[in-house]
């Protein structure tokens, strides 16, 4: 075990040396100094901003060249960065988009080895025909064509041998570099370098698992089984494993080959409408969308249907997000910016405590109004994208990954529509789907389903509560927990209680005074009698004076008590 750790440590050290050499070769000497020099001071303030975001040193092009030279894992990281326009300025996004998987195909011998290991049988026993030359090659895998013994033509996607181990090693280095970047550069902390690597790690290992992609294909097939204009290829599960995906090969025309479509009598504008309707269904009905619909992944079949292939990148939307997006689309379609702002706020993208929502609404309206009434042919997709991202950067809006994928898919879908000469508006095509989604959100079946789900949650909490309370009490008894009870809102109650007690006391005093005065006046014993001239000579005792005084006090207190009760309105 120690020897294995030592070998891994040496490999990591050598890889750090390679990275350092690449950085130095491309003019990143200052970066190397700050990243790897223990005595270097942290770069702060304006210098760090200028260091990464001015047109001088280092340029976006140099960063791209470094990523390309560091190999497939870093190229994939750069491709992820090209989708994070909420983090990086446009000039960097443009460069990251140029990153391509420029890798030679693996030898046919290695392909054979992977297939035979995964399927547990010789290649000739699995396929009646298998093309040794790859149809396409990328850093993660490559595609070959073949034919099954049952006669079906298939596309076989094979993961490169050893790529998972290599990516794991590179991700370990990425984490180390990201932590150093966040410690050395303020901008690294702002961008969240470690979180970016974490997101890359989650995505790349899903892309390496062909069973996940096969499952996505099956889900799309189920979703579109009643839609005649969309065709989803079949998965051959008997030939599919974690590293090998065998699916139906689709013959047809690439989505951007307008001339070939017309030669086959296919109307490109109708194909564009199929694409827009498909995107609307994915977004507003299924909450599961193909997030990479570029021409190579969208095939126009010779009978006029459209087939989606290569499901390596997909996005999910939960019910609440779907509803918010529907409100967003309807708000745009109907010029209702209050609806748009409400949808963005509910999605958690706008926060009143950290941004000026009035200014944001004004900027959003100024940006959006210029696009209304224009067809796809007259709208620059780049212009829309750039303006949206200017708002995102200006107000520091951090977009979730699935919304970024959705925005990217939106742009690619519109771009394909423009290539096909479509005059359709995506907002107009999507509007009926959005209305239907919002209507469904309130139907009885869905409400009952939500009530049932919430009831199950409450039942689960009720079942777990005794155990949790018992655990808390045990921890408290052992001195590991402290219970602190705080009460609030009792101040007014105390004041009201005090008033009630005071009134009760006064009432008792009144009653006692009346009773005492009556007893004194009716007493046969007289104390100190004296004569006064009151309506003639009268003999009055001191006892009678005390009794009379008691009656007067009781009367005054009784009148005050009645008045105070009447004024409180609580008789």
Q: How far is CA 323 from CA 206, 295, 426, 454, 505, in A?
A: 27, 29, 18, 19, 62
Rounded mean pLDDT, 317-344: 76
Of 200, 157, 194, nearest in space to 175 by CA: 194
Of 273, 290, 272, 268, nearest in space to 224 by CA: 290
- Give the whole-angstrom CA distance, residue 3 versus residue 462: 52
- Give the whole-angstrom CA distance, residue 152 versus residue 168: 36
How many Cβ atoms sit within 10 Å of the Cβ of residue 378? Answer: 10
- Give the whole-angstrom CA distance, residue 364 versus residue 349: 14
Check pLDDT > 80 for residue 352: no
Listed by start position, the domains of the chain span: 2-102+165-205, 107-160+209-249, 255-442, 446-481, 492-568
In tens, the pLDDT along 402-439 reads 676 676 677 677 777 777 887 776 667 777 777 777 77
Supply the pLDDT for residue 566: 64
For the chain, helix, strand, coil in percent to 5 are: 60, 10, 30
In tens, the pLDDT along 134-178 reads 988 887 889 999 999 999 999 999 999 988 888 888 888 888 888
HSE value, Cβ hemisphere, 13 Å, CA-based, for 359: 8
Supply the pLDDT for residue 126: 95
Mean pLDDT for all residues in the chain: 75
Q: Are 244 and 158 in contact (CB under 8 A)?
A: yes
Among 38-47, 315-324, 529-538, the minimum mean pLDDT is found in: 38-47
Residue 118, both tokens: 């995964």
- Point out the residues that are catalytic: 292
- Give the whole-angstrom CA distance, residue 84 versus residue 91: 12
Rounded mean pLDDT, 452-473: 61
Report residue 463's pLDDT band, with 50, 70 and 90 as the boundaries.
low
Of 62, 143, 69, 133, nearest in space to 102 by CA: 69
Check pLDDT > 80 for residue 107: yes
Most confident of 16-20, 23-27, 74-78, 435-439: 74-78
Domain 107-160+209-249 CATH class label: alpha beta
Greater pLDDT, 509 or 286:
286
Of 222, 224, 216, nearest in space to 240 by CA: 216
The enclosing H or E element of 248 equals strand 244-248
- Give the whole-angstrom CA distance, residue 41 versus residue 38: 8
As to burial, measured by CB atoms within 10 angstroms (0-12 exposed, 13-18 middle, 19+ buried), residue 417 is buried
Greater pLDDT, 101 or 291:
291
In this structure, the strands spanning 136-137 and 153-159 are unpaired
Instruction: Look at the alpha carbons of 295, 301, 307, 310 in this order and tell me if their dihedral is positive or negative.
Output: negative
**Residue carrying the six token digits 């969208």:** 298
- Give the whole-angstrom CA distance, residue 145 versus residue 152: 11
Beta bridge partners of 531: 539
As to burial, measured by CB atoms within 10 angstroms (0-12 exposed, 13-18 middle, 19+ buried), residue 284 is buried
Check pLDDT > 50 for residue 552: yes
DSSP for residue 282: I
In tens, the pLDDT along 192-220 reads 788 888 888 888 888 889 999 999 999 99
- Give the whole-angstrom CA distance, residue 486 versus residue 221: 56
Greater pLDDT, 143 or 92:
143
Beta bridge partners of 404: none
Q: Is 348 left (phi over 0), alpha (psi -120 to 50) or beta?
A: left
Q: pLDDT > 70: what percent of the chain?
A: 62
Supply the pLDDT for residue 301: 94
The enclosing H or E element of 345 equals helix 337-346
Greater pLDDT, 355 or 54:
355
Instruction: Look at the alpha carbons of 516, 519, 522, 523 in this order and tell me if their dihedral is positive or negative.
Output: negative
């Amino acid at each position: 075990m120690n020897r294995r750790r030592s070998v891994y440590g040496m490999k990591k050290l050598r890889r750090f040396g390679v990275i350092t050499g690449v950085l130095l070769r491309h003019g990143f000497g200052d970066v190397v100094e700050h990243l790897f020099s223990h005595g270097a001071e942290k770069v702060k303030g304006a210098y760090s901003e200028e260091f990464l975001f001015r047109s001088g040193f280092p340029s976006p092009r140099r960063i791209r060249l470094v990523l390309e030279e560091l190999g497939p894992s870093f190229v994939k990281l750069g491709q992820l960065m090209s989708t994070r326009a909420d983090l990086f300025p446009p000039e960097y996004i443009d460069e990251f988009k140029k990153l391509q998987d420029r890798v030679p195909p693996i030898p046919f011998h290695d392909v054979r080895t992977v297939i035979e290991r995964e399927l547990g049988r010789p290649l000739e026993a699995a396929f009646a025909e298998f093309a040794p030359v790859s149809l396409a090659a990328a850093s993660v895998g490559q595609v070959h064509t073949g034919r099954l013994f049952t006669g079906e033509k298939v596309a076989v996607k094979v993961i490169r041998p050893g790529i998972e181990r290599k990516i794991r090693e590179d991700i370990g280095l990425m984490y180390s570099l990201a932590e150093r970047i966040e410690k050395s550069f303020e901008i690294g902390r702002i961008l969240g370098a470690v979180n970016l690597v974490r997101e890359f790690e989650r995505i790349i290992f899903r892309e390496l698992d062909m069973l996940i992609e096969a499952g996505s294909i099956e889900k799309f097939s189920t979703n579109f089984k009643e839609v005649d204009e969309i065709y989803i290829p079949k998965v051959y599960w008997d030939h599919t494993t974690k590293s090998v995906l065998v699916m139906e090969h689709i013959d047809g025309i690439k989505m951007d080959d307008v001339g070939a479509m017309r030669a086959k009598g296919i109307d490109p504008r109708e194909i564009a409408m199929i694409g827009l309707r498909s995107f609307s269904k994915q977004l507003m009905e299924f909450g599961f969308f193909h997030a990479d619909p570029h021409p190579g992944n969208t095939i126009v079949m010779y009978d006029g249907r459209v087939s989606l292939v290569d499901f390596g990148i997909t996005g999910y939307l939960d019910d609440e997000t779907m509803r918010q997006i529907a409100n967003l689309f309807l708000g745009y379609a109907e010029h209702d910016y209050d609806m748009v702002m409400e949808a963005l706020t509910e999605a958690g993208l706008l926060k009143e405590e950290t941004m000026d929502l009035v200014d944001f609404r004004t900027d959003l309206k100024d940006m959006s109004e210029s696009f209304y009434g224009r067809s796809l042919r007259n709208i620059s997709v780049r212009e829309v994208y750039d303006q949206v991202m200017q708002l995102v950067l200006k107000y520091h809006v951090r977009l979730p990954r699935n919304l970024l994928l959705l925005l990217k898919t939106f742009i690619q879908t519109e771009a394909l529509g423009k290539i096909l000469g479509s005059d359709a508006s995506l907002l107009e095509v999507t509007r009926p789907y959005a209305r239907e989604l919002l209507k469904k959100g309130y139907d009885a079946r869905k409400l009952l389903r939500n009530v049932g789900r919430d009831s199950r949650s409450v039942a689960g909490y009720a079942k777990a509560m005794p155990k949790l309370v018992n655990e808390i009490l045990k921890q408290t008894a052992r001195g590991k927990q402290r219970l602190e009870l705080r009460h609030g809102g009792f101040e007014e109650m105390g004041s009201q209680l005090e008033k009630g007690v005071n009134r009760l006391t006064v009432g008792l005093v009144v009653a006692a005074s009346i009773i005492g005065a009556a007893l004194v006046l009716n007493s046969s014993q007289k104390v100190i009698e004296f004569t006064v001239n009151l309506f003639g000579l009268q003999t009055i005792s001191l006892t009678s004076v005390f009794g009379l005084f008691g009656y007067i006090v009781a009367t005054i207190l009784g009148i005050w008590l009645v008045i105070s009760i009447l004024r409180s309105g609580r008789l």
